[in-house]
């Protein structure tokens, strides 16, 4: 017997993309919605018509006024009806608007090709989406800044290869997450500052149609593009085919992948730390960790960050393939792919940063667990300190070194073979060559003694690079973290 509902019960036409319905914020979903895209297209057409009119083409103020009056009154159902008949999304949008603005109908899209709205529109929407991501990224930086400042001097065991290593501090470890994000912020700002739109280029990028409109006056065509770009607030790429080079979107994707990778590194670190019971992601009072094991407290938000990040980084190879296989002035095999990759990448990174901020703001630190783990390993790492103290008390450095080596091997054997706690200090105290009691040896093992300049590094970093990165911070909307 099938467990699926019958066709009468199942609504087979209501698939919802989980990035939109489950993960991303309403603000990002709005930017990538069909309604918003159509309104951006209409603003592009208005900017073109205004520029053409200002440069002397026979377009009346009444026609432009009618376009402005109806620019937000997008009828998606009417557009869908036209597209079903015309099999062309841009022409469908033009026909639907022409019904709402009949006097402007003859001059909408004058001299343009479809990529005038699709390419210019997608790049403008991506820039706006990046500005939202920038604010979300700064939100994360602010949360990690506060966390790093609070725990700047708290010693913890460092790990290299996930093996015990020289101690660091909880706050210093957080600055490693921040450093990655600062590099991402610099990349994001660079792309925002240097990403152009397609501009006013015509069918194959030669501006031939606009040259015809201006009776062969190339200076007027150049002026048209300048005016248009001033109105939309972005410079035009110098040359294009029918489309702007798809490498522009590859650059956007690189930033998205960088953000995803940085977030995933944080998520992986936190999952390991939660396993060690040192630092945990927030866990709500009624949250259930497992349907079968009620005691569990799984790092599900960090795991989701890593999962979404893996999805984002997987988008780039196919994006490069799209760029690599564009033919001559254009080919349409990029269209469906672009609709999927750029929108999904933006939605996923938005979701990642919403999660990241939520987790970073609610991190739970367990100082005693951190101290216990540090103390269990610190005797091994304190060899040089203990050797120097032993020499001060009359010992021979080379002899003490050998005695330490033998005792540490025995302590390690007991830990791994017998499951015993670290007995190195007791073994050293039993050896008269050290001339110290176990209490005296333990007194030398203050974790702060072994963290170098970690605390000072944290404070200098937060006061310098991090403060500069947050100087213009305006918090983003409080997006909901869904289940």
Query: What pLDDT digit, counting tens, does each position of 217-240 carry?
Result: 999 999 999 999 999 999 999 999
The backbone torsions φ and ψ at residue 435, rounded to the nearest 5 degrees and listed phi first, read 60, 40
Q: Please tell me the distance from the alpha carbon of residue 349 to that of residue 311, in angstroms, as a whole number.
A: 10
Confidence class of residue 13 from pLDDT cuts 50, 70 and 90?
A: low
Q: In the chain, what percentage of residues exceed pLDDT 90?
A: 70
Q: What Cα–Cα distance (Å) separates residue 393 from each residue in 377, 381, 388, 401, 433? A: 24, 20, 9, 14, 9
Spell out the CATH class of 114-198+237-281+297-363. Answer: mainly alpha
Q: Which fold has domain 383-444?
A: Ribonucleotide Reductase Protein R1; domain 1 (1.10.40)
Q: Please tell me the distance from the alpha carbon of residue 134 to that of residue 185, in angstroms, as a whole number.
A: 7
Residues with catalytic function? 161, 290
Q: Report residue 136 CA to chain centroid gap.
A: 9
- Whether 53 shows a pLDDT value over 60: the answer reads yes
Which residue has better confidence, 329 or 431?
Answer: 431
Confidence class of residue 316 from pLDDT cuts 50, 70 and 90?
A: confident
- Whether 298 shows a pLDDT value over 90: the answer reads no
| pLDDT digit string, tens, across residues 159-184 | 999 988 899 999 999 999 999 999 99
Residue 299: closest CA among 322, 319, 273: 273
Length of the chain: 483
Q: Please tell me the distance from the alpha carbon of residue 49 to that of residue 224, in angstroms, as a whole number.
A: 10
Phi-psi region of 2 (alpha: psi -120 to 50; beta: other; left: phi over 0): beta
Average pLDDT over residues 80-92: 94
What was the pLDDT predicted at 7? 54
Q: In the chain, what percentage of residues exceed pLDDT 70?
A: 94
Give the range among 62-76, 255-269, 415-429 with minimum mean pLDDT: 415-429
Spell out the CATH class of 21-112+203-236. Answer: mainly alpha
Average pLDDT over residues 234-256: 91
- Whether 468 shows a pLDDT value over 50: the answer reads yes
Strand partners, 164: 159
Confidence class of residue 295 from pLDDT cuts 50, 70 and 90?
A: low
Whether pTM exceeds 0.85: yes
Domain boundaries along the sequence of the chain:
21-112+203-236, 114-198+237-281+297-363, 383-444
Average pLDDT over residues 310-316: 92
Residue 472: closest CA among 137, 197, 210, 220: 137
199: three-class secondary structure by DSSP: coil
What was the pLDDT predicted at 1? 45
Which ranges constitute the DSSP H helices of 289-448? 300-313, 316-324, 335-361, 367-381, 383-392, 397-418, 424-429, 438-443
- Whether 482 shows a pLDDT value over 80: the answer reads no
Q: What Cα–Cα distance (Å) separates residue 192 from each residue in 127, 209, 214, 416? A: 6, 30, 33, 54
């Amino acid at each position: 017997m099938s467990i699926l509902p019958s066709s009468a019960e199942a609504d087979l036409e209501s698939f919802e993309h989980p990035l939109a319905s489950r993960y991303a914020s309403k603000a990002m979903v709005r930017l990538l919605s069909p309604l918003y895209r159509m309104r951006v297209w209409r603003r592009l057409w208005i900017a073109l018509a205004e520029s053409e009119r200002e440069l002397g083409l026979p377009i009346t103020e009444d026609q432009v006024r009618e376009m402005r009056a109806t620019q937000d009154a997008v009828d998606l159902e009417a557009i869908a009806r036209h597209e079903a008949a015309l099999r062309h999304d841009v022409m469908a949008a033009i026909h639907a608007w022409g019904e709402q603005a009949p006097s402007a109908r003859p001059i909408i899209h004058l001299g343009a090709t479809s990529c005038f709205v699709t390419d210019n529109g997608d790049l403008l929407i991506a820039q706006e989406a990046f500005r939202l991501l920038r604010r979300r990224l700064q939100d994360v930086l602010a949360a990690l800044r506060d966390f790093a400042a609070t725990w700047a001097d708290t010693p913890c065991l460092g790990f290299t290869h996930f093996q015990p290593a020289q101690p660091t501090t909880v706050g210093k470890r957080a600055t490693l997450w921040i450093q990655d994000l600062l590099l991402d912020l610099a990349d994001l700002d660079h792309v925002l500052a240097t990403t152009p739109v397609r501009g006013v280029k015509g069918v194959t990028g030669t501006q031939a149609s606009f040259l015809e409109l201006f009776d062969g006056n190339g200076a007027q065509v150049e002026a048209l593009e300048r005016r248009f770009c001033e109105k939309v607030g972005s410079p035009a790429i110098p040359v294009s085919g029918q489309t702007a080079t798809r490498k522009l979107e590859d650059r956007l994707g690189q930033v998205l992948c960088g953000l995803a990778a940085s977030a995933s590194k944080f998520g992986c670190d936190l999952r390991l730390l939660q396993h060690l019971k040192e630092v945990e992601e927030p866990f709500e009072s009624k949250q259930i960790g497992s349907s079968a094991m009620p005691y569990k407290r799984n790092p599900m938000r960090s795991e989701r960050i890593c999962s979404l990040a893996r999805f984002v980084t997987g988008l780039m190879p196919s994006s490069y393939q799209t760029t690599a296989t564009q033919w001559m002035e254009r080919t349409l095999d990029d269209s469906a792919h672009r609709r999927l990759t750029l929108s999904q990448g933006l939605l996923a990174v938005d979701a990642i940063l919403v999660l990241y901020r939520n987790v970073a703001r609610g991190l739970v630190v367990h100082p005693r667990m951190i101290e216990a783990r540090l103390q269990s390993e610190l005797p091994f790492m304190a060899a040089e300190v203990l050797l120097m103290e032993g020499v001060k008390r009359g010992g021979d450095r080379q002899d003490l070194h050998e005695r330490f080596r033998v005792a540490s091997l025995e302590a390690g054997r007991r830990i791994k073979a017998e499951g015993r706690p670290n007995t190195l200090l007791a073994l050293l105290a039993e050896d008269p060559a050290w001339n110290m009691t176990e209490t005296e040896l333990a007194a030398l093992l203050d974790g702060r003694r072994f963290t170098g300049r970690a605390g000072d590094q944290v404070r200098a970093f937060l006061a310098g690079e991090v403060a500069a990165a947050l100087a213009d911070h305006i918090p983003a909307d409080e997006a909901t973290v869904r289940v």
